Amino acid sequence: MSAASLAGYLLRHGISAPVAYELMLLWNERNNPPESIEVIETTFHSILNAELKRLRGGQGV
């Protein structure tokens, strides 16, 4: 599973953003090798923004 897939899955299933982010960090620690925190953070925020846009019906923020 990729970081983007995990972020999208968690957010679409009603996990709050702070909890989803923490779960991603824990998931990443178990990767061999783990991604950098910067990559995880960037990916998470990108997916979060896309999910928020989807929930708003595709309207701009």
Query: pLDDT tier at 59 (50, 70, 90 boundaries)?
Result: low
Query: Which amino acid is it at 48?
Result: L
Do residues 3 and 28 touch, judged by C-beta distance below 8 A?
Answer: yes
Q: Give the global pTM.
A: 0.85
Q: From its phi and psi, is residue 58 left (phi > 0), alpha (psi between -120 and 50) or beta?
A: left
Percent pLDDT > 90 in the chain is 85
Q: From its phi and psi, is residue 19 left (phi > 0), alpha (psi between -120 and 50) or beta?
A: alpha
- Within 8 A by CB and 6+ apart from 22, the residues are none
pLDDT at position 25 is 98
